[in-house]
Amino acid sequence: MKCNLGIDIGGTNIKIGLTDENHGLIYKDSFPTRSKAGSEGIMSDIKEYCRKLNNEYDIKHIGVGCPGDKDDANVSILTAGNLPFRNVPVVAELASIFDCCNIFLENDGNCALIAEWLVGSGKGCNDMVMVTIGTGIGGGCIVNRDVLRGLHNDAGELGHFVINLEGPDCNCGQKGCFEQFASATALIGYVKKSVNENPGSILAEMSEEGIDGSTAFKACRAGCNVAKEILSVYGKHLATGLNGLKYIFAPELIALSGGITKEGDTLMEFVIPHLLDPERVKISSLGGDAGIVGASLLYKFSDYYLSLRKK
């Protein structure tokens, strides 16, 4: 059976999946992003996994999603925010393994957007926004049934508009960006600070085994008022950014994706009270799989990507 390969490179994990000709996910896996090993180590891990899949499956199309800036031909990653990528020729490196396939590179937020628009809850929308919540905040926009790309294909960095001028420094060079307040990394930071201030709390007890994006939610469900307060603050920050996007793009739908959204109704309980138009905001129907599904669907835009390579 022919299938398509999607690779979603994140700051914490790399997700890899295969979809069939009906765009259904038939295989998925993930492994940690070895940022300390540099781009060479990360690409080595990806290529090793791809060699295994290439031996086991008949792969027709390949797509890669990654945060950051691409070159004008959309074949190399110039910089990638939370990742140690500098001028990495991703397409060429993977082409050494898949010599008979077209390989497409796209922003990870756009990959999630494309998946949700073509086969998820955004199907049929003329205008929509996807917000991906992970190590940072990314996303993408559909405007008049086309992907908004911008100069050098850089549009869609939705984590980098400022919501507080007095906020912390951001990797993009600004201060107080949306992702500094509403990413999974930001939520983890709130938890760590609160654990130090409330050592006898349920949250502190649960944090002894490690802290991730789900820790505050678990403690909240266990009745921890400290965790509930953290999530109230986090929910307000997330809603503030979403309200801004509502006014900037006026979309039919704002879809939320990323690991945090696995919390579903518990997450939305803290976000909805602060939304100006809650009917427009939904959690992605594809959940955490949107990135890899969307990467596997990049071939549907092949004319666009191949035209960039000819310039």
| 256-304 pLDDT, tens digit each | 988 899 999 999 999 999 999 999 999 999 988 989 999 999 999 998 8
Name the band, by pLDDT with cuts 50, 70 and 90, for residue 1. confident
| 70-126 pLDDT, tens digit each | 888 989 999 887 789 999 999 999 999 987 789 999 988 889 899 999 999 999 999
Name the band, by pLDDT with cuts 50, 70 and 90, for residue 219. very high
d(CA 147, CA 130): 11
- Interstrand relation of 13-19 and 2-9 (parallel, antiparallel or unpaired): antiparallel
d(CA 112, CA 128): 12
**Is the pLDDT at 311 greater than 90, yes or no?**
no
| 134-172 pLDDT, tens digit each | 889 988 999 999 999 888 777 888 999 999 999 999 988
Quick one: pLDDT at residue 87?
A: 95
Domain spans of the chain?
2-113+290-310, 125-285
Find, among 100, 114, 98, 80, the residue nearest to 11 by Cα.
80
**Would the CATH topology of 2-113+290-310 be identical to that of 125-285?**
yes
**Is the pLDDT at 239 greater than 80, yes or no?**
yes
Find, among 19, 5, 280, 300, the residue nearest to 146 by Cα.
300
> Phi and psi at residue 11, in whole multiples of 5°?
-70, -25
Q: What is the CATH number of domain 2-113+290-310?
A: 3.30.420.40
Rounded to 10 deg, the angle between the 184-197 and 225-249 helix axes is 150
144 class by beta-carbon count within 10 Å (0-12 exposed, 13-18 middle, 19+ buried)? exposed
For 270, residues 6+ apart whose C-beta sits below 8 A from its C-beta are: 231, 232, 234, 235, 236
**Average pLDDT for residues 176-186, to the nearest whole number?**
96
* Residue 160 CB coordination number (10 Å): 18
Percent of the chain with pLDDT over 70: 100
| 22-71 pLDDT, tens digit each | 999 999 999 999 999 999 999 999 999 999 999 999 999 999 999 888 88
CA–CA distances in Å: residue 72 to residues 191, 219, 257:
40, 46, 27
> 222 forms bridges with which residues in the sheet?
none
Structure tokens given for 298: 């990049």
> 59 forms bridges with which residues in the sheet?
3
> Domain 125-285 has what CATH class?
alpha beta
Quick one: pLDDT at residue 243?
A: 97
Higher pLDDT, 96 or 234: 234
The separation between CA 259 and the C-alpha centre of its own chain, rounded to angstroms, equals 9
- What per-residue string of b and e applies to 234-266 under the rule 16 or more CB within 10 Å gives b? bbebbbbbbbbbbeebebebbbbbbbbbebeee
Quick one: pLDDT at residue 75?
A: 94
d(CA 122, CA 137): 19
Quick one: pLDDT at residue 99?
A: 79
| pTM to 2 decimal places | 0.83
Quick one: pLDDT at residue 220?
A: 97
d(CA 10, CA 83): 8
